[in-house]
Amino acid sequence: MKKAPFHITIGELHKRGKDTIPFEVTSNKHLVYSSPATLSYNAPGAQGFGVKRAGLTLPESIMLVVAPGCCGRSTTILGDEGGYSQRIFHLSMSENDLITGAHLTSIPQAINEIIHILDKKPKAVEICITCVDALLGTDLERVCRKATKEVGIPVIPTYMYALLREGKNAPMVDIRKSIYSLIQPTTKDLHQVNLLGYFTHLTDTCELYTLLSQIGLTTKEIGRCTTFAEYQTMGCANFNLILDKESRKAAAMMDKKFNIPYAELTRLYERDKIENQYKLFAAALGTTFDDTSFQKEADDAIAAIRKISHNITLSIGSVVNANPFELALSLMEYGFTIKTIFSEPDKDDYTYIDRISERDPTVIVYPPLSPSMINFTKGEQVDFTIGLDASYYYPETPNLAWNQEIQPFGYTGLRDFLLALGKLIEGKNA
Protein backbone atom coordinates (compact mmCIF):
# COMPACT_ATOMS: atom_id res chain seq x y z
CA MET A 1 0.00 0.00 0.00
CA LYS A 2 1.30 3.44 -0.90
CA LYS A 3 2.38 5.30 2.20
CA ALA A 4 1.48 8.95 2.80
CA PRO A 5 3.73 11.95 3.42
CA PHE A 6 3.85 13.03 7.04
CA HIS A 7 2.02 16.26 7.76
CA ILE A 8 0.69 18.07 10.78
CA THR A 9 -1.66 21.00 11.25
CA ILE A 10 -0.56 24.27 12.76
CA GLY A 11 -3.23 23.72 15.40
CA GLU A 12 -1.63 20.43 16.41
CA LEU A 13 1.84 22.00 16.48
CA HIS A 14 0.46 24.76 18.70
CA LYS A 15 -1.18 22.23 21.04
CA ARG A 16 1.97 20.15 21.36
CA GLY A 17 4.05 23.22 22.13
CA LYS A 18 7.64 24.02 21.28
CA ASP A 19 9.10 21.41 23.61
CA THR A 20 7.35 18.46 21.98
CA ILE A 21 7.82 19.07 18.28
CA PRO A 22 7.33 15.66 16.57
CA PHE A 23 10.53 13.96 15.45
CA GLU A 24 9.18 13.74 11.88
CA VAL A 25 9.57 17.52 11.53
CA THR A 26 12.97 17.73 13.21
CA SER A 27 15.68 17.14 10.64
CA ASN A 28 18.44 15.80 12.89
CA LYS A 29 16.13 13.17 14.35
CA HIS A 30 15.36 11.32 11.14
CA LEU A 31 17.05 10.40 7.89
CA VAL A 32 16.91 13.36 5.52
CA TYR A 33 15.26 12.79 2.16
CA SER A 34 17.05 14.69 -0.51
CA SER A 35 14.38 15.78 -2.95
CA PRO A 36 15.12 18.44 -5.59
CA ALA A 37 13.18 20.85 -3.37
CA THR A 38 15.66 20.47 -0.54
CA LEU A 39 18.97 20.95 -2.35
CA SER A 40 19.59 24.15 -0.44
CA TYR A 41 19.81 22.13 2.75
CA ASN A 42 22.54 19.92 1.44
CA ALA A 43 25.78 21.91 1.45
CA PRO A 44 28.22 21.66 -0.29
CA GLY A 45 25.72 21.09 -3.04
CA ALA A 46 23.78 24.07 -1.78
CA GLN A 47 22.22 26.36 -4.30
CA GLY A 48 22.68 30.04 -3.61
CA PHE A 49 25.34 30.66 -1.00
CA GLY A 50 26.96 27.62 0.52
CA VAL A 51 30.26 27.87 2.38
CA LYS A 52 32.40 28.03 -0.77
CA ARG A 53 30.57 30.82 -2.54
CA ALA A 54 30.01 32.69 0.71
CA GLY A 55 33.73 32.55 1.46
CA LEU A 56 34.53 34.04 -1.91
CA THR A 57 32.55 37.19 -1.16
CA LEU A 58 35.83 38.29 0.46
CA PRO A 59 37.08 40.50 -2.40
CA GLU A 60 40.26 39.52 -4.27
CA SER A 61 40.53 36.26 -2.34
CA ILE A 62 40.87 32.69 -3.54
CA MET A 63 39.79 29.47 -1.83
CA LEU A 64 41.60 26.17 -1.58
CA VAL A 65 39.34 23.30 -0.56
CA VAL A 66 41.46 20.70 1.23
CA ALA A 67 39.28 17.61 1.44
CA PRO A 68 38.37 14.25 -0.06
CA GLY A 69 37.40 14.51 -3.72
CA CYS A 70 33.71 14.09 -2.99
CA CYS A 71 33.61 17.36 -1.01
CA GLY A 72 34.91 19.33 -4.00
CA ARG A 73 32.89 17.63 -6.69
CA SER A 74 30.50 20.51 -7.18
CA THR A 75 33.23 23.16 -7.19
CA THR A 76 33.69 23.65 -10.92
CA ILE A 77 30.03 23.32 -11.72
CA LEU A 78 29.00 25.80 -9.04
CA GLY A 79 31.98 27.96 -9.89
CA ASP A 80 31.05 28.14 -13.55
CA GLU A 81 27.44 28.88 -12.76
CA GLY A 82 28.34 31.45 -10.11
CA GLY A 83 31.24 33.00 -12.04
CA TYR A 84 34.00 32.19 -9.56
CA SER A 85 35.57 29.09 -11.10
CA GLN A 86 38.89 30.93 -11.48
CA ARG A 87 39.02 31.57 -7.72
CA ILE A 88 38.47 28.12 -6.26
CA PHE A 89 40.88 25.19 -6.18
CA HIS A 90 41.05 21.75 -4.65
CA LEU A 91 43.68 19.72 -2.85
CA SER A 92 42.48 16.12 -2.66
CA MET A 93 43.04 13.98 0.39
CA SER A 94 43.87 10.34 0.03
CA GLU A 95 43.26 7.54 2.53
CA ASN A 96 46.91 7.83 3.57
CA ASP A 97 46.39 11.49 4.40
CA LEU A 98 43.74 10.47 6.91
CA ILE A 99 46.47 8.70 8.83
CA THR A 100 49.51 10.85 8.19
CA GLY A 101 47.95 14.31 7.89
CA ALA A 102 50.32 14.90 4.98
CA HIS A 103 47.68 16.94 3.14
CA LEU A 104 48.12 19.72 5.69
CA THR A 105 51.87 20.06 5.14
CA SER A 106 51.33 20.43 1.36
CA ILE A 107 49.13 23.51 1.70
CA PRO A 108 51.83 26.22 1.31
CA GLN A 109 53.24 24.50 -1.76
CA ALA A 110 49.76 24.16 -3.24
CA ILE A 111 49.04 27.87 -2.65
CA ASN A 112 52.30 28.85 -4.32
CA GLU A 113 51.52 26.68 -7.35
CA ILE A 114 48.08 28.25 -7.65
CA ILE A 115 49.43 31.80 -7.34
CA HIS A 116 51.90 30.96 -10.09
CA ILE A 117 49.11 30.37 -12.65
CA LEU A 118 47.00 33.39 -11.68
CA ASP A 119 47.17 36.68 -13.59
CA LYS A 120 46.96 38.65 -10.38
CA LYS A 121 48.21 37.69 -6.95
CA PRO A 122 45.29 37.28 -4.53
CA LYS A 123 45.06 39.43 -1.42
CA ALA A 124 44.00 36.53 0.80
CA VAL A 125 43.64 32.77 0.69
CA GLU A 126 40.87 30.85 2.41
CA ILE A 127 41.52 27.23 3.28
CA CYS A 128 38.31 25.23 3.47
CA ILE A 129 38.27 21.91 5.30
CA THR A 130 35.41 19.49 5.77
CA CYS A 131 33.92 16.81 8.07
CA VAL A 132 36.98 14.56 7.86
CA ASP A 133 39.24 17.17 9.44
CA ALA A 134 36.59 17.94 12.03
CA LEU A 135 36.87 14.33 13.15
CA LEU A 136 40.65 14.31 12.91
CA GLY A 137 40.79 17.38 15.14
CA THR A 138 42.85 19.37 12.67
CA ASP A 139 44.15 22.66 14.06
CA LEU A 140 43.57 24.70 10.94
CA GLU A 141 44.32 28.00 12.69
CA ARG A 142 47.88 26.81 13.24
CA VAL A 143 48.16 25.46 9.69
CA CYS A 144 46.98 28.81 8.34
CA ARG A 145 49.39 30.83 10.51
CA LYS A 146 52.26 28.73 9.17
CA ALA A 147 51.04 29.07 5.58
CA THR A 148 50.67 32.85 5.98
CA LYS A 149 54.35 33.06 6.87
CA GLU A 150 55.38 30.87 3.95
CA VAL A 151 53.31 32.46 1.18
CA GLY A 152 53.41 36.07 2.35
CA ILE A 153 49.66 36.80 2.16
CA PRO A 154 46.95 36.20 4.75
CA VAL A 155 45.73 32.62 4.84
CA ILE A 156 42.55 32.09 6.86
CA PRO A 157 40.58 29.03 7.92
CA THR A 158 37.04 28.25 6.81
CA TYR A 159 35.05 25.21 7.83
CA MET A 160 32.50 23.27 5.82
CA TYR A 161 31.55 21.02 8.72
CA ALA A 162 28.15 19.58 7.84
CA LEU A 163 28.55 17.49 10.99
CA LEU A 164 27.96 20.65 13.03
CA ARG A 165 24.94 21.87 11.09
CA GLU A 166 22.65 22.33 14.10
CA GLY A 167 25.47 23.30 16.46
CA LYS A 168 26.55 26.71 17.72
CA ASN A 169 29.23 26.88 15.05
CA ALA A 170 27.15 25.72 12.08
CA PRO A 171 28.97 26.12 8.75
CA MET A 172 27.00 29.16 7.63
CA VAL A 173 27.56 30.80 11.01
CA ASP A 174 31.24 30.08 10.99
CA ILE A 175 31.87 31.26 7.43
CA ARG A 176 30.46 34.65 8.41
CA LYS A 177 33.05 34.83 11.16
CA SER A 178 35.81 33.88 8.74
CA ILE A 179 35.01 36.43 6.09
CA TYR A 180 35.09 39.31 8.56
CA SER A 181 38.27 38.17 10.26
CA LEU A 182 40.58 40.22 8.01
CA ILE A 183 39.03 43.66 8.43
CA GLN A 184 41.47 46.30 9.69
CA PRO A 185 40.50 48.20 12.83
CA THR A 186 41.91 51.65 12.24
CA THR A 187 40.57 54.97 13.49
CA LYS A 188 36.89 54.74 14.33
CA ASP A 189 34.55 56.42 11.91
CA LEU A 190 31.59 57.40 14.06
CA HIS A 191 29.44 57.78 10.95
CA GLN A 192 29.96 54.28 9.53
CA VAL A 193 27.79 51.23 10.18
CA ASN A 194 28.32 47.76 8.72
CA LEU A 195 25.33 45.72 7.63
CA LEU A 196 26.00 42.06 8.39
CA GLY A 197 24.08 39.00 7.35
CA TYR A 198 23.87 38.76 3.60
CA PHE A 199 26.56 37.83 1.12
CA THR A 200 25.15 40.21 -1.46
CA HIS A 201 23.48 43.44 -0.37
CA LEU A 202 20.08 45.03 0.19
CA THR A 203 18.04 46.36 -2.72
CA ASP A 204 19.24 49.84 -3.67
CA THR A 205 15.86 51.34 -2.78
CA CYS A 206 15.74 49.83 0.71
CA GLU A 207 14.70 52.46 3.27
CA LEU A 208 17.36 51.35 5.72
CA TYR A 209 19.99 53.33 3.79
CA THR A 210 17.81 56.45 3.91
CA LEU A 211 16.87 56.08 7.56
CA LEU A 212 20.49 55.65 8.59
CA SER A 213 21.56 58.60 6.47
CA GLN A 214 18.90 60.74 8.22
CA ILE A 215 20.98 60.40 11.37
CA GLY A 216 24.29 60.88 9.59
CA LEU A 217 25.32 57.26 9.14
CA THR A 218 26.78 55.67 6.01
CA THR A 219 26.76 51.91 5.40
CA LYS A 220 29.24 49.24 4.36
CA GLU A 221 28.27 45.76 3.17
CA ILE A 222 30.64 43.05 2.08
CA GLY A 223 28.51 42.43 -0.98
CA ARG A 224 29.20 45.95 -2.22
CA CYS A 225 32.97 45.86 -1.61
CA THR A 226 34.87 45.36 -4.84
CA THR A 227 38.42 45.46 -3.49
CA PHE A 228 40.17 43.98 -0.50
CA ALA A 229 41.21 47.48 0.62
CA GLU A 230 37.61 48.66 0.61
CA TYR A 231 36.54 45.55 2.56
CA GLN A 232 39.18 46.26 5.19
CA THR A 233 37.64 49.65 5.92
CA MET A 234 34.72 47.81 7.53
CA GLY A 235 37.04 47.80 10.54
CA CYS A 236 36.38 51.53 11.06
CA ALA A 237 32.67 51.06 11.79
CA ASN A 238 31.03 52.61 14.81
CA PHE A 239 28.76 49.59 15.09
CA ASN A 240 27.50 46.53 13.21
CA LEU A 241 23.87 45.98 12.32
CA ILE A 242 22.94 42.28 12.11
CA LEU A 243 20.25 41.52 9.54
CA ASP A 244 20.42 37.72 9.72
CA LYS A 245 20.75 35.83 12.98
CA GLU A 246 23.49 33.63 11.52
CA SER A 247 25.75 36.70 11.75
CA ARG A 248 25.51 36.99 15.53
CA LYS A 249 28.72 35.06 16.08
CA ALA A 250 30.55 37.17 13.53
CA ALA A 251 29.31 40.31 15.24
CA ALA A 252 30.36 39.01 18.64
CA MET A 253 33.80 38.19 17.24
CA MET A 254 34.12 41.72 15.80
CA ASP A 255 33.00 43.19 19.09
CA LYS A 256 35.62 41.26 21.01
CA LYS A 257 38.45 41.51 18.51
CA PHE A 258 37.91 44.96 16.98
CA ASN A 259 35.74 46.64 19.61
CA ILE A 260 32.77 47.10 17.26
CA PRO A 261 29.45 46.74 19.12
CA TYR A 262 26.31 45.50 17.39
CA ALA A 263 22.54 45.73 17.19
CA GLU A 264 20.09 43.49 15.36
CA LEU A 265 17.13 43.93 13.06
CA THR A 266 14.97 41.13 11.65
CA ARG A 267 13.49 40.84 8.19
CA LEU A 268 9.75 40.97 8.64
CA TYR A 269 6.68 41.16 6.40
CA GLU A 270 4.19 42.28 9.06
CA ARG A 271 3.84 45.99 8.46
CA ASP A 272 3.24 46.98 12.10
CA LYS A 273 6.16 44.91 13.31
CA ILE A 274 8.43 46.64 10.82
CA GLU A 275 7.33 50.00 12.16
CA ASN A 276 7.82 48.93 15.79
CA GLN A 277 11.24 47.52 15.07
CA TYR A 278 12.45 50.79 13.55
CA LYS A 279 11.00 52.75 16.47
CA LEU A 280 12.85 50.60 18.99
CA PHE A 281 16.05 50.73 16.99
CA ALA A 282 15.91 54.50 16.70
CA ALA A 283 15.15 54.81 20.41
CA ALA A 284 18.17 52.67 21.22
CA LEU A 285 20.25 55.10 19.19
CA GLY A 286 18.65 58.02 21.03
CA THR A 287 16.97 59.40 17.93
CA THR A 288 13.91 59.00 15.67
CA PHE A 289 13.45 58.08 12.02
CA ASP A 290 11.13 59.73 9.57
CA ASP A 291 9.79 56.65 7.80
CA THR A 292 6.39 58.02 6.80
CA SER A 293 6.97 57.95 3.04
CA PHE A 294 8.12 54.31 3.20
CA GLN A 295 5.18 53.41 5.42
CA LYS A 296 2.84 54.99 2.90
CA GLU A 297 4.29 52.99 0.03
CA ALA A 298 3.90 49.79 2.03
CA ASP A 299 0.38 50.77 3.08
CA ASP A 300 -0.58 51.47 -0.53
CA ALA A 301 0.73 48.05 -1.55
CA ILE A 302 -1.21 46.42 1.31
CA ALA A 303 -4.39 48.26 0.34
CA ALA A 304 -3.99 47.14 -3.27
CA ILE A 305 -3.38 43.51 -2.35
CA ARG A 306 -6.32 43.44 0.07
CA LYS A 307 -8.61 44.19 -2.87
CA ILE A 308 -7.64 40.94 -4.59
CA SER A 309 -6.56 38.63 -1.77
CA HIS A 310 -9.97 37.44 -0.67
CA ASN A 311 -10.53 33.74 -1.39
CA ILE A 312 -7.02 33.29 -2.77
CA THR A 313 -5.22 30.25 -1.39
CA LEU A 314 -1.45 29.97 -1.05
CA SER A 315 1.26 27.45 -0.30
CA ILE A 316 4.58 28.66 1.13
CA GLY A 317 7.94 26.93 0.85
CA SER A 318 11.12 27.42 2.82
CA VAL A 319 13.53 28.43 0.01
CA VAL A 320 12.39 32.04 0.19
CA ASN A 321 13.74 35.35 1.44
CA ALA A 322 11.55 35.22 4.51
CA ASN A 323 10.77 33.12 7.52
CA PRO A 324 7.97 30.98 6.01
CA PHE A 325 5.89 31.08 9.19
CA GLU A 326 6.21 34.86 9.58
CA LEU A 327 5.40 35.30 5.91
CA ALA A 328 2.35 33.05 6.24
CA LEU A 329 1.11 35.04 9.22
CA SER A 330 1.58 38.34 7.38
CA LEU A 331 -0.23 37.10 4.32
CA MET A 332 -3.15 35.95 6.44
CA GLU A 333 -3.33 39.46 7.83
CA TYR A 334 -3.44 40.81 4.27
CA GLY A 335 -6.48 38.62 3.51
CA PHE A 336 -5.03 35.47 1.95
CA THR A 337 -5.82 31.90 2.97
CA ILE A 338 -2.76 29.78 3.67
CA LYS A 339 -3.28 26.10 2.94
CA THR A 340 0.16 24.55 3.29
CA ILE A 341 3.63 25.43 4.53
CA PHE A 342 6.67 23.35 3.58
CA SER A 343 9.10 23.89 6.42
CA GLU A 344 10.54 22.24 9.52
CA PRO A 345 9.66 24.52 12.43
CA ASP A 346 12.01 25.21 15.31
CA LYS A 347 11.33 26.65 18.73
CA ASP A 348 11.85 30.24 17.57
CA ASP A 349 9.06 29.83 15.02
CA TYR A 350 6.49 29.33 17.77
CA THR A 351 6.00 33.09 18.03
CA TYR A 352 4.37 32.83 14.62
CA ILE A 353 2.92 29.31 14.89
CA ASP A 354 0.84 30.28 17.94
CA ARG A 355 -0.55 33.30 16.15
CA ILE A 356 -1.26 31.43 12.91
CA SER A 357 -3.08 28.80 14.94
CA GLU A 358 -5.36 31.48 16.41
CA ARG A 359 -6.32 32.56 12.91
CA ASP A 360 -6.56 29.18 11.21
CA PRO A 361 -5.48 25.97 12.98
CA THR A 362 -6.10 23.88 9.85
CA VAL A 363 -3.03 25.14 7.96
CA ILE A 364 -0.99 22.05 7.08
CA VAL A 365 2.76 21.85 7.63
CA TYR A 366 4.77 19.37 5.55
CA PRO A 367 8.36 18.68 6.64
CA PRO A 368 10.28 18.81 3.31
CA LEU A 369 13.22 16.84 4.67
CA SER A 370 11.16 13.90 5.93
CA PRO A 371 11.71 10.66 3.99
CA SER A 372 7.93 10.32 3.87
CA MET A 373 7.93 13.22 1.37
CA ILE A 374 8.97 10.75 -1.33
CA ASN A 375 5.30 9.77 -1.26
CA PHE A 376 4.13 13.34 -1.86
CA THR A 377 2.26 13.44 -5.13
CA LYS A 378 -0.34 16.16 -4.81
CA GLY A 379 -0.95 18.68 -2.07
CA GLU A 380 -4.10 20.51 -1.12
CA GLN A 381 -5.31 22.61 -4.05
CA VAL A 382 -3.91 26.17 -3.98
CA ASP A 383 -4.06 29.12 -6.35
CA PHE A 384 -0.43 30.28 -6.00
CA THR A 385 2.81 29.13 -4.43
CA ILE A 386 5.57 31.18 -2.84
CA GLY A 387 9.20 30.04 -2.50
CA LEU A 388 11.36 28.22 -5.02
CA ASP A 389 10.82 24.81 -3.44
CA ALA A 390 7.03 25.17 -3.41
CA SER A 391 7.08 25.01 -7.20
CA TYR A 392 8.49 21.47 -6.93
CA TYR A 393 5.45 20.36 -4.95
CA TYR A 394 2.99 22.25 -7.14
CA PRO A 395 4.59 22.23 -10.60
CA GLU A 396 1.44 23.36 -12.38
CA THR A 397 0.63 26.25 -10.04
CA PRO A 398 1.88 29.82 -10.64
CA ASN A 399 4.87 30.48 -8.38
CA LEU A 400 6.57 33.51 -6.91
CA ALA A 401 10.06 32.23 -6.05
CA TRP A 402 11.06 35.32 -4.02
CA ASN A 403 14.55 34.01 -3.40
CA GLN A 404 16.49 36.64 -5.34
CA GLU A 405 20.10 37.20 -4.35
CA ILE A 406 19.80 40.97 -3.85
CA GLN A 407 18.04 41.05 -0.52
CA PRO A 408 14.64 42.60 0.25
CA PHE A 409 14.21 44.20 3.67
CA GLY A 410 11.82 46.37 5.64
CA TYR A 411 8.99 48.41 4.15
CA THR A 412 10.42 48.27 0.66
CA GLY A 413 10.88 44.52 0.94
CA LEU A 414 7.22 44.18 1.92
CA ARG A 415 6.12 46.60 -0.80
CA ASP A 416 8.15 44.84 -3.52
CA PHE A 417 6.91 41.44 -2.39
CA LEU A 418 3.26 42.48 -2.49
CA LEU A 419 3.69 44.16 -5.86
CA ALA A 420 5.27 40.99 -7.26
CA LEU A 421 2.53 38.83 -5.80
CA GLY A 422 -0.15 41.18 -7.10
CA LYS A 423 1.38 41.02 -10.55
CA LEU A 424 1.39 37.23 -10.45
CA ILE A 425 -2.27 37.14 -9.44
CA GLU A 426 -3.28 39.67 -12.07
CA GLY A 427 -1.29 37.76 -14.67
CA LYS A 428 -3.28 34.64 -13.96
CA ASN A 429 -6.58 36.47 -13.92
CA ALA A 430 -5.85 38.39 -17.12
Strands lying side by side in the sheet with 337-342: 8-9, 364-366, 337-342, 313-316, 384-386, 399-400
| Closer by beta carbon to another protein, 8 or else 39 | 39
From CA 199, how far away is CA 359, in angstroms rounded? 35
Does 22 sit near another protein (CB under 8 A)?
Answer: no
Q: For residue 143, give the H/E element and its range.
A: helix 140-151
Contacting range for another protein; rule: CB under 8 A; set: 38-46, 214-222, 330-338, 414-422: 38-46
Does 63 sit near another protein (CB under 8 A)?
Answer: no
8 Å CB contact between 353 and 8? no
Name residues whose C-beta falls within 8 Å of residue 83's C-beta, 6 or more positions apart in sequence: none
| Closer by beta carbon to another protein, 86 or else 351 | 86
Does 68 sit near another protein (CB under 8 A)?
Answer: yes
Encoded one letter per residue, x for contact with another protein by CB under 8 A and - for no contact, window 157-196 reads ---xxxxxxxx-----------------------------
DSSP-assigned states of every residue in 369-395: TSGGGGG----S--SEEESTTHHHHST
Count the Cβ atoms, other than its own, within 10 Å of residue 24: 18
Region 88-107 residues binding another protein, contact defined as CB under 8 A: 89-95, 98, 103, 106
Q: How far is the CB of 271 from another protein (least distance, A)?
A: 36
Count the Cβ atoms, other than its own, within 10 Å of residue 380: 14
Does 246 sit near another protein (CB under 8 A)?
Answer: no
Task: Choose, by CB under 8 A, the member of 8, 32, 285, 401 that binds another protein.
Answer: 32
Which SS3 state, helix, strand or coil, does residue 364 take? strand
Outline where DSSP puts E strands in 93-172: 124-130, 155-160
Residue 295 Cα to chain centre, angstroms:
26
Does 346 sit near another protein (CB under 8 A)?
Answer: no
Count of residues touching another protein (by CB under 8 A): 69
Task: Choose, by CB under 8 A, the member of 13, 25, 37, 46 that binds another protein.
Answer: 46
Half-sphere exposure of 308 (CA within 13 A, CB side): 18
Name residues whose C-beta falls within 8 Å of residue 315's C-beta, 6 or more positions apart in sequence: 338, 339, 340, 341, 342, 379, 380, 382, 384, 385, 386, 390, 393, 394, 397
Direct distance between the N- and C-terminal alpha carbons of the chain, in angstroms, rounded to an integer:
42
Q: How far is the CB of 322 from another protein (least distance, A)?
A: 23
Does 136 sit near another protein (CB under 8 A)?
Answer: yes
Peptide bond into 59 cis (omega under 30): no
Region 360-389 residues binding another protein, contact defined as CB under 8 A: 370-372, 374-375
| Closer by beta carbon to another protein, 43 or else 182 | 43
Task: Choose, by CB under 8 A, the member of 19, 20, 117, 310 that binds another protein.
Answer: 117
| Closer by beta carbon to another protein, 160 or else 314 | 160
Does 83 sit near another protein (CB under 8 A)?
Answer: no
Does 45 sit near another protein (CB under 8 A)?
Answer: yes
Does 49 sit near another protein (CB under 8 A)?
Answer: no
| Closer by beta carbon to another protein, 14 or else 30 | 30
From CA 381, how far away is CA 4, in angstroms rounded? 17
| Closer by beta carbon to another protein, 33 or else 402 | 33
Q: How far is the CB of 230 from another protein (least distance, A)?
A: 28
Q: How far is the CB of 153 from another protein (least distance, A)?
A: 17
Q: How far is the CB of 31 from another protein (least distance, A)?
A: 4
Residue 70 identity: C
Interface residues toward another protein, by CB under 8 A = 2-3, 6, 23, 27-36, 39, 41-47, 67-77, 79-80, 89-95, 98, 103, 106, 109-110, 113-114, 117, 130-132, 134-136, 160-167, 370-372, 374-375
